[in-house]
Chains A and B, each alone.
Chain A
């Protein structure tokens, strides 16, 4: 039980660690993937802004009325058009220059004719050089901004955060502005007659970053804070962002980490990873922003508050841990149930079988279950019953055998005593009878009577000798013998008697019988005994069949042996006599005809050869005696 618990806990712990790890990786992966998509979306929004400026300016420039207004320097018309455009395109500055780049008109304060005759900004330079529309991101210096609108120049100024200013620059203020701009040339019969330009200053611009947040993160909240943030960098300085400081202000003027700066600004690659901004960890992604000439001038950033993912991860981990724990608990409960339903009955069965081996045939095997275990239990019980039955039977058998041998032993003792006592008077009877018979003066009838006494006494002597033989169990004189020869000579011994009685004796010798180690004369006397009994039991015209063959014994685990069967067609033996057949002094013959010792002595002889004698008989259908002798008998 303890090991089961331990196992359950170990499995739980391992799966918790492994699962937690997998979970963490999955969450990180998901966060990383998502932030990549978010960065793409942010870029699309950024590009869309540029496209909007470009499209609106281009559409305006393509109008004939606009071209005419440029051609004829109709400033009020142009001004009203620029105002409309700036409204729709959300432009912070816009203006029109002529084919030389001299300002015709622009939004904001009036042109200072002294130093603003030519508009000196990158997009106009580009259009003048290449004569094609341009749009994109640019850096605008303080002078240009001032010339466009002093308010813009002021907006562009961003004070660098002292503690975030990791890179020492001469100034503690960023004065340049980054902007998305477009400049569209206006042609009249193939000749450049003017350029219309406009753009949006990104410094302190909240619109783009907030649109990104709104579009991409859809105002997702985590504990009252927006989880998504977007930032636009001028070089490595935050100039537009919705990352807030602890005081709730937008985090401007701080720099990105050197690592990000190196990878994004110097090497031009995007950067995705974990970034700490104002003591908050973000899953962040950065990519470079290039200007019209392809130089990297800034970065676009989106970040998701990692706390949310941690939360998701923790929640998932908690659910996972809970599941594991519940599973473990279930495993323990199921294990306990299993122990109850399976292990306990099995243990009971084991104990029961141990008790059985100690001789207790009705051990407690516990309650019987309703399932396969119950089937096993009942099978075990019925096995026990048959075992008990067998044990009881074999006990009865061995008791019978014991009784038999006790009977034999007591008969032996009796025989010894009787023999000793009888043999002395017998000697007297024999001596006096034979001495009387020596006399010459006896009349014939007295001589005949004396002869009868002598014969009868000789018979008594034989009975007593048989008794003694039975009790003495004379040792076997073993030799290698051909059993067919032994049987053959026994049969030929009684053939004359059979012939006289009109009974046919058939001998069927088995082939290839092994040599047996036996006492020929004793086995022969056994066979003779049975044969004579058979002759006595069989009427004239009957048959006696004697056959030999190889046979396995039923007793000693299929030991190989030879069986001699003697079957007659005689009167048969009543069932109640079959049991007593081998008892000493049991005889079915008339008193005076048999000694009653024959079969018990025969059985003794065969048993001392390691064999058995079996009898099958049916009243009126004759009897069969089977003498079985093993091929290799144990040393006796």
Chain B
């Protein structure tokens, strides 16, 4: 299982790396939307976790692009400013689930499993 994590904040990438590694996930980390989109040309992950507010292309743009390239990959959108509008826009642009920052390792993993579980349900 391959997970892509996209965030401009190094501390988030490091936190995610720590938890995902401990949980045994294979993960790649990108600090911009463009970088992640490039990687997506060559590799299709099982799950993408992406921050909404990023310099350059933001999370909404990224999710849109992902949906164009690979329609059904589950995407978790994250934000440190989870307004109603942000959450709604995330859903509209194609995010599967929304994760509010900050989060604890347990909340992070819960969200991942719930998303995957939902995906698996959808697939069966």
- Listed from nearest, the 7 A-B pairs whose CB atoms lie closest are A423-B80, A431-B15, A426-B102, A428-B11, A423-B101, A427-B102, A420-B80
Contact A424 B84 (CB under 8 A): no
B27 at the interface (CB under 8 A from A): no
B108 cross-chain contacts in A, Cβ below 8 A? 431
Task: Provide the bound-state CA to CA distance between A420 and B18, in Å.
Answer: 21
Contact B106 A434 (CB under 8 A): yes
Question: In the complex, which of the residues B12, B18, B22, B106 contacts A424, with contact meaning CB atoms closer than 8 Å?
Answer: B12
Contact B80 A431 (CB under 8 A): no
A424 cross-chain contacts in B, Cβ below 8 A? 7, 9, 11-12, 80, 101-102
Pairs across A and B, CB under 8 Å, 13 listed:
A416-B81, A416-B83, A420-B53, A420-B79, A420-B81, A421-B80, A424-B80, A427-B102, A429-B102, A430-B105, A431-B108, A434-B106, A468-B82
A419 cross-chain contacts in B, Cβ below 8 A? 80-81
Category for how many chain A residues contact B: 20 to 34
Contact B18 A426 (CB under 8 A): no
Known contacts A435-B19, A435-B22, A435-B105; A427/B84 CB under 8 A:
no
> A interface vs B, CB < 8 Å?
416, 419-432, 434-435, 438, 461, 464, 468, 472, 474-475
Interface residues of B in 79-112 (CB under 8 A from A): 79-84, 100-106, 108
Task: Provide the bound-state CA to CA distance between A422 and B105, in Å.
Answer: 17
Question: In the complex, which of the residues B53, B80, B83, B103 contacts A422, with contact meaning CB atoms closer than 8 Å?
Answer: B80
Give the secondary structure class of A's interface.
Answer: helix
Question: In the complex, which of the residues B22, B84, B100, B106 contacts A474, with contact meaning CB atoms closer than 8 Å?
Answer: B84
Known contacts A420-B53, A432-B18; A427/B103 CB under 8 A:
yes
How many A-B contacts are there with CB distance less than 8 Å? 69
Task: Provide the bound-state CA to CA distance between A425 and B80, in Å.
Answer: 10
Question: In the complex, which of the residues A423, A430, A464, A474 contacts B104, with contact meaning CB atoms closer than 8 Å?
Answer: A430
Question: In the complex, which of the residues A422, A429, A434, A472 contacts B84, with contact meaning CB atoms closer than 8 Å?
Answer: A472
Task: Provide the bound-state CA to CA distance between A425 and B104, in Å.
Answer: 12
Task: Provide the bound-state CA to CA distance between A430 and B18, in Å.
Answer: 12
B101 cross-chain contacts in A, Cβ below 8 A? 423-424, 426-427
B9 cross-chain contacts in A, Cβ below 8 A? 424
B72 cross-chain contacts in A, Cβ below 8 A? none
Contact A431 B53 (CB under 8 A): no
Contact B82 A427 (CB under 8 A): no
Category for how many chain B residues contact A: 20 to 34
Contact B105 A425 (CB under 8 A): no
Contact B19 A475 (CB under 8 A): no
Contact B15 A428 (CB under 8 A): yes
Q: Mark B1-27, 1 if CB is under 8 A from A, else 0.
A: 000000101011011101100100000
Contact B80 A430 (CB under 8 A): no
Contact A434 B80 (CB under 8 A): no
B79 cross-chain contacts in A, Cβ below 8 A? 420
Task: Provide the bound-state CA to CA distance between A435 and B14, in Å.
Answer: 12
Task: Provide the bound-state CA to CA distance between A438 and B22, in Å.
Answer: 10
B19 cross-chain contacts in A, Cβ below 8 A? 431, 435
Known contacts A419-B81, A421-B80, A423-B101; A428/B14 CB under 8 A:
yes
Q: A416-B83, A423-B101 are in contact. List 20 more A-B contacts (CB 8 A).
A: A420-B79, A420-B80, A423-B80, A423-B100, A424-B12, A424-B80, A427-B11, A427-B80, A427-B102, A427-B103, A428-B11, A430-B102, A434-B106, A435-B19, A435-B22, A464-B102, A468-B81, A472-B83, A472-B84, A474-B84
B11 cross-chain contacts in A, Cβ below 8 A? 424-425, 427-428
Q: How far is the CB of B7 from chain A (nearest CB, A)?
A: 8
B105 cross-chain contacts in A, Cβ below 8 A? 430-431, 434-435, 438
Task: Provide the bound-state CA to CA distance between A424 and B9, in Å.
Answer: 7
Q: How far is the CB of B105 from chain A (nearest CB, A)?
A: 5
Q: How far is the CB of B15 from chain A (nearest CB, A)?
A: 4
Contact A431 B84 (CB under 8 A): no
A420 cross-chain contacts in B, Cβ below 8 A? 53, 79-81
Q: How far is the CB of B24 from chain A (nearest CB, A)?
A: 14
Q: How far is the CB of B19 from chain A (nearest CB, A)?
A: 6
Q: How far is the CB of A570 from chain B (nearest CB, A)?
A: 35
Residue of B nearest to A474 (CB): B84
Residue of B nearest to A433 (CB): B104
Task: Provide the bound-state CA to CA distance between A423 and B15, in Å.
Answer: 13
Residue of A nearest to B15 (CB): A431
Residue of A nearest to B99 (CB): A427
Task: Provide the bound-state CA to CA distance between A429 and B102, in Å.
Answer: 9
Q: How far is the CB of A81 from chain B (nearest CB, A)?
A: 152
Residue of B nearest to A425 (CB): B11
Task: Provide the bound-state CA to CA distance between A432 and B18, in Å.
Answer: 8
Q: How far is the CB of B55 from chain A (nearest CB, A)?
A: 12
Residue of A nearest to B11 (CB): A428
Residue of A nearest to B19 (CB): A431
Residue of B nearest to A427 (CB): B102
Contact A427 B15 (CB under 8 A): yes
Task: Provide the bound-state CA to CA distance between A430 and B108, in Å.
Answer: 11
Task: Provide the bound-state CA to CA distance between A438 and B12, in Å.
Answer: 19
Q: How far is the CB of A442 from chain B (nearest CB, A)?
A: 15
B15 cross-chain contacts in A, Cβ below 8 A? 427-428, 430-432
Task: Provide the bound-state CA to CA distance between A432 and B9, in Å.
Answer: 15
B82 cross-chain contacts in A, Cβ below 8 A? 468
Task: Provide the bound-state CA to CA distance between A420 and B12, in Å.
Answer: 12
A426 cross-chain contacts in B, Cβ below 8 A? 101-102
